[in-house]
Structure 1
Amino acid sequence: MTSYTIPTVETKNLILRAPQEGDLPAMTTFFASDRSRMVGGPKTPLEAWRSLLGRFGHWAIMGYGGWHIVEKASGAFAGWTGIINAPGWDEPELGWVIFDGFEGKGIAFEAAMAARAYAAQHQGVNGPISYIAHENKRSRALAERLGATYEREGEVVGQRCQVWRHPKLEFSDTALTTERTGQ
């Protein structure tokens, strides 16, 4: 385990920040819904709490992890994104969850672009995969918009899924040369 700080990343419309205890009600609502089935849900309120706490542990152990997404205009907690890796997984995954009511605003795209660029530039994770449930058409469309391509069939959390590969980003010194981070 290493010492860590969860960085804050700002884009034009979003703040990617560390999870906070005040995020629990929105997480509990999300994990109680059928929408959460694509990320291991539904979950009980206690399991939602453990999920929130697990985000800190992931940063501490792996040196990277997930951010909670805040919409600047409203100040609302809109979902999460970031790079995660669990025992038994093939490699680090770029994932995203956007809460009900925040879809269709470009939040997932802007947040995932920023998380992917930050991970490549600062955390040594470049060209991650995304595990996407077969029925999750919105996530497949987002992966394509992010430049990812279908790679193969896979399994995560005991469920069959598709594995999508994100492009490796190129950097010149510290400047991102092939992509924008939404800033």
Structure 2
Amino acid sequence: MTSYTIPTVETENLILRAPHEDDLPAMTAFFASERSQMVGGPKTPLEAWRSLLGRFGHWAIMGYGGWHIVEKASGAFAGWTGIINAPGWDEPELGWVVFEGFEGKSIAFEAATTARAYAAQHQGINAPISYIAHNNDRSRALAERLGATYEREGEVVGTSCQVWRHPKLELTDPALTTERTGQ
């Protein structure tokens, strides 16, 4: 098996880190809800476990993937963000999930901005897409806040959606504050 590292990236308010086993209860609760539809849910607890394990596999196979978001102030696992490129995806996608109770704090914006900048600077993924459900006004508003524009209609995980394109970033302007390596 190929050796890989999931970097830890810190911002002013967040830590983007590798998944931990103790993240599973929050993931299981999220995947039990209808909110999880655009990310392959709802899922059983076993399927949530497989999703957790799949995050490691994505990093190992693709060399990039998703981070779990930790709010520094509380130390709480608040969701995830990163680049996804699974079977059925048109191209690499910048995705994000923020759990109930963490909305409205700019967590998704800060995390997605950081993930997008990291992908452009370190992984050769610049101007990714985001799949957004037609009824997900919050994600659409976040995509617009991130500078993305509607590109076309699409489909992912068997669900029709909108495809939004993020702008290409200038790589001379570092958007990251700190990176630590480790899993």
Instruction: State the TM-score, normalizing by the size of structure 2.
Output: 0.94
**Residue aligning to 1:77:** 77
Does structure 1 conserve the Cα–Cα contact (< 8 Å) formed by 2:38 and 2:157? no
Aligned residues: 178
- Structure 2 Cα separation of the partners of residues 8 and 182 of structure 1: 11
**Residue aligning to 2:167:** 167
Runs of 4+ with deviation above 3 angstroms: 180-183
**Residue aligning to 1:150:** 150
**Residue aligning to 1:51:** 51
**Residue aligning to 2:111:** 111
Structure with larger RCO (C-alpha < 8 A, sep 6+): 2
**Residue aligning to 2:102:** 102
**Residue aligning to 1:63:** 63
Q: Which amino acid aligns with 1:92?
A: P
- Structure 1 regions of 5+ residues with no counterpart? none
**Residue aligning to 2:140:** 140
Does structure 2 conserve the Cα–Cα contact (< 8 Å) formed by 1:110 and 1:182? no
- Structure 2 Cα separation of the partners of residues 87 and 38 of structure 1: 15
User: In the TM superposition, what whole-angstrom CA distance separates every residue of 1:61-105 from its partner, at most 9, and x where no partner exists?
Assistant: 000000000000000000000001012311000000000000000
User: In the TM superposition, what whole-angstrom CA distance separates every residue of 1:37-71 from its partner, at most 9, and x where no partner exists?
Assistant: 12111100000000000000000000000000000
Asked if 1:4 is matched to 2:4, the reply is yes
**Residue aligning to 2:181:** none
SS class of match (1:171): coil
Offset of 1:182 from its aligned partner? 7.5
Does structure 1 conserve the Cα–Cα contact (< 8 Å) formed by 2:92 and 2:125? yes
Asked if 1:29 is matched to 2:32, the reply is no
**Residue aligning to 2:120:** 120
SS class of match (1:113): helix
Q: Greater shift after overlay, 136-145 or 84-93?
A: 84-93
Q: Which amino acid aligns with 1:52?
A: L
SS class of match (1:2): coil
**Residue aligning to 2:90:** 90
Does structure 1 conserve the Cα–Cα contact (< 8 Å) formed by 2:120 and 2:171? no
